[in-house]
A and B are shown apart, each in its own frame.
Chain A
Amino acid sequence: MERFDLRLYVAGRNPQTQQAIECVTRFCGTELRGRYNLEVIDVLEHPKNEGVEQILATPTLVKYAPGPRCQIVGDLSDRDTVRLGLGISRPAEMDST
């Protein structure tokens, strides 16, 4: 299974940034389970970073791999859209029996 190469772009340190980081790390933890690299980049600290110049806005989660690069912009607690962007399907329900 391929590894996801992800970068989360945020602006500054504030409650929103914190929330975005938490959402994404929780998502990765539960749905990507170890198959990922996640890097958090503050656009205010690294404005000249190449990835920063390509994104539209913050917060943005960019998937560099697998497959073509894509960006997911906005409220990353919207798991449906994050899954759609990353190209993964909803996790199967746990069987309770």
Chain B
Amino acid sequence: MREVCQDDEGPVTGPAVYPPHARVPILVVEDNLEDAELVAMRLGILRSVTRDVVHAATLGEATAWLSKHRCEAIILDLNLPDSKGFDALVELRRLRPSVPTVVVSGFVDHALHSAAMELGAEEVISKDELDSPLLPVCILSIIERNRAIEHERRLARILGAMPDAVVVTSSTGAIEYANDSALTFFGKSRDEMTRAPLFFAAPADTCAELCVTRSNATRFGILRVTELRSHGEVSFLSSIRDITEQRKLETQILLSDRLASLGLIAASVAHEINNPLGAVLANVELAMKDSNGDFREELTDAHSATLRISQIVRDLKLFSRADESSCTTLDVHPVLDSVARMAANEIRHRATLIMDYRAERAIRGNESRLSQVFLNLMVNAAQSIPEGNAEGNEIRIVTRVGDGDRLLIEFKDTGSGIPPDVQRRLFGLFFTTKAAGAGSGLGLAISQRIVASLGGELSFVSEVGKGTCFTVSFPSVAAVTTPRSTRAPPSIPLAERRGRVLVVDDDALVLNSVRWSLEGEHEVVCFDSGAGALAAVVGGEPFDVVLCDLLMPRTTGMDLHRAIERAEPSLARKMVFMTGGAFTRRARDFLTTKPNRRLEKPFRVEELRGLVNELVLQSHGEEPAQDRRHRPSGYAPKGSADQRRDTEPPESRVSGTANASKTRDAGGRRH
């Protein structure tokens, strides 16, 4: 606690709280001119405090003057030509209730005195007291008292309007003052607050955190305590600032930050997995072709397991999209499918999951944020059902078109339902029904925010013992027709044209699997670095297709593209980028601006073959006939699968591992 105000040591200095009093006159309402002059003379010494004395001889004059001017005090002779009894007093009190009025009368007795005071007079004096030196003292003290009262009222208004809670307590814990904001912040009446001695604790120059828990909301405040000394007595001034909104924002920022880090890790993991995964996928497919039916079951299982891993990696990438704010037209169904896969573990032992898609509308939204909401709702649904009776419980995800052509996505569960008093607080920040530490109480609050920011609505109905249905609704747009097929690509027929394919990837596993997939039909030249590949191109080696990894150390796919653009522009157009998830900004921007084809890792053998065969044909179609003369004669005419050219490998060319001795024919089979 810190000592600040010590009024024992003289006046408090500092900037003026409000403008100094304007000096305004004293109004004397007196029909007797002599008496008026006498008063004016006596009150002359007050000129430093007020201005001159103004004289009105009748009530009419007085009210006329008052209609245009202000005054500090009024001295009123009841005996006026145009007023009888107390009429003048009543009228002037009505016109100027905040100006002290002193009544002067020829004859003053107790009855007159009390009647006048009753009607609002500040004081009653008799005529012969007008000539007394005490008159100015009396008037001055009346004026100063009035000013003091005005000051106090103004201060009370200021403190009352302060948004921060202000409480002053004595050294025995008695409340000396509490402003309205304090009562609001603590949610108590004045009586309730003063019931027991109260002490606010905060070490000097620090803030303490307070939390007020009420049934419908929690509020947070920061408390500062300052010591006040007055006449040797100590009081404590406590001010509390409500930081609930700020706290909400901070928590959301922290959460976003954590999600962003998670996103980064997810992207990184996905990227790292994609290369070896691609190698497994391609090799399993090649082995299946090669095995003559041996190990069919094992290889088939290995193959579908690999496909499943690759789908999980794709789902992870959904969450890792760094660009969280962009909206596109999207189909919610693949997002729901993907989220369902992610929530599978939570759902598996509790309920049967049914995806009931009845709508074909699309919405404008952001995939990453939507998947956050869907995951939250799906996991909540799952966790409302106890484990052990998956057959007897159901989680049903329904999409349908509702009123106004809106797309409705319903998350229905046969769980425990939400009791009414919990329903009221469901979207509240920090509200959770889970044990401390298990639930942050933020999921639904954030989901609601996300849905609202995407122009949608989140609502629910629930019945205890029956279950709950959360509904997300969005304005819908026409369905998007780009299919995202995950079905197996059809078996690709043999290449019509044998081509020369340049493959660049720093990962030997990728190089091997690509080579083995293609070498039956095309000549494959591999490099593990962009520099080596560029040297081959610049050195005049012709290629029909370049398959290039995007993110490599030293020379990236983007650098290589730029270099090839300069050296051999037509080849640059024939570059295909193999990407495992472009998670640098540069890579993402690059991909969106280049028209080059791309292959997303992990890719299937048939996918690879199909693309390469197409591009080889295209490349030959583009070549003017005369350029073909400059090509080495290693191009076999259509159909002759036996002719293969062995070219001598230069320095950084990667010719593969021991398996290089096993060659492959056009069907991909080894011999």
Binding site for B on A (CB under 8 A): 11-13, 16, 43-44, 47, 54, 56-59, 68-78, 80-82, 84-85
Contacts and interface: CB of A to CB of B under 8 A. Distances in A.
Question: Which of B186, B211, B221, B223 is packed against the most chain A CB atoms within 10 Å?
Answer: B211
Contacts of A78: 201-203, 208, 225
B629 interface: no
Given A74-B201, A78-B202, A85-B173, A57 B208 contact: no
A57 B221 CA distance: 10
A19 B437 CA distance: 17
B215 interface: yes
Interface string B418-445: 0000000000000000001100000000
A11 to B, nearest CB: 5
Given A58-B211, A73-B201, A82-B199, 7 more contacts: A44-B436, A57-B210, A58-B212, A74-B201, A74-B202, A76-B201, A80-B1
A77 B203 contact: yes
11 contacts: A13-B437, A56-B198, A58-B212, A69-B196, A70-B173, A70-B198, A71-B199, A73-B199, A73-B210, A81-B1, A84-B199
A12 B435 CA distance: 10
A73 B437 contact: no
B206 to A, nearest CB: 7
A56 B197 CA distance: 12
A75 B206 contact: yes
B211 A81 contact: no
A70 B211 contact: no
Contacts of B210: 57-59, 73-74
Contacts of B202: 74-75, 78, 81
Q: Closest 3 CB pairs between A and B?
A: A75-B208, A70-B197, A81-B201
B213 A58 contact: yes
Question: Which of A43, A58, A74, A75 is packed against the most chain B CB atoms within 10 Å?
Answer: A74
Interface of B: 1, 171, 173, 186, 188, 193, 195-203, 206, 208-213, 215, 218, 221, 223, 225, 436-437
A70 B199 contact: yes
Nearest to B187: A56
Contact of B197 (A47, A57, A59, A85): A85
A72 B202 CA distance: 10
Contacts of B200: 72-74, 81
Contacts, number: 88
Contacts of B203: 75, 77-78
B242 to A, nearest CB: 11
Contacts of A82: 199, 201
Contact of B196 (A43, A58, A71): A71
Contacts of A43: 213
A12 B201 contact: no
Contacts of B221: 57
Contacts of A75: 201-203, 206, 208-209, 223
A51 to B, nearest CB: 11
A14 to B, nearest CB: 9
B212 A56 contact: yes
A71 B198 contact: yes
A13 B188 CA distance: 25
Given A11-B213, A57-B210, A58-B211, A72 B186 contact: no
Contacts of A58: 210-213
A69 B194 CA distance: 12
B212 A72 contact: no
Question: Which of A12, A44, A73 is packed against the most chain B CB atoms within 10 Å?
Answer: A73
A76 B199 CA distance: 11
A43 B1 CA distance: 28
Contacts of A54: 195-196
A55 B211 CA distance: 11
Contacts of A69: 196-197
A11 B211 contact: yes
A78 to B, nearest CB: 4
Contacts of A72: 199-201
Contacts of B199: 70-73, 81-82, 84-85
A34 to B, nearest CB: 23
A5 B152 CA distance: 42
A68 B197 contact: yes
A73 B212 contact: no
Contacts of B208: 74-75, 78
Given A70-B196, A71-B197, A73-B198, A81 B225 contact: yes
A80 to B, nearest CB: 7
A28 to B, nearest CB: 15
A44 B212 CA distance: 11
A90 B196 CA distance: 23
B211 A13 contact: no
Contacts of B209: 16, 75
